[in-house]
Amino acid sequence: MPKNKSHKGLAKRIKISKTGKIRFGRPHSRHLKSNKTGTQIQSYRKKRYARSGDIRALSKLLFRPLLSQEQHELREAAREVAVAV
């Protein structure tokens, strides 16, 4: 059986945190900025985290388990409750 190979185009565009969250840059931020407001341009500088609906498809492309921002927050809350008990 052949090796699983990650999707190189996706791998170049995202950053995976140690906890498994996916961070990526926002689209529409490279050029044609003259007709955009300053607030829009500022918001393009911020990074985004992948949503929970996209995680399954992204993890299939990269062949590794991943977490969305919401899933990560739920896991952290569960850990805090477990530590408190």
Tell me if the pTM is above 0.75.
no
Q: What is the mean pLDDT of residues 50-70?
A: 88
Q: What are the residue boundaries of the structural domains of the chain, listed by start? A: 9-24+38-84
Number of continuous H segments (helices) and E segments (strands) in the chain: 4, 3
| Tokens matching residue 77 | 């809350």
Selection from 24, 66, 17 nearest residue 48 by Cα? 24
* pLDDT on residue 84: 82
Average pLDDT over residues 51-78: 88
CA proximity to 67, closest of 10, 20, 24 = 20
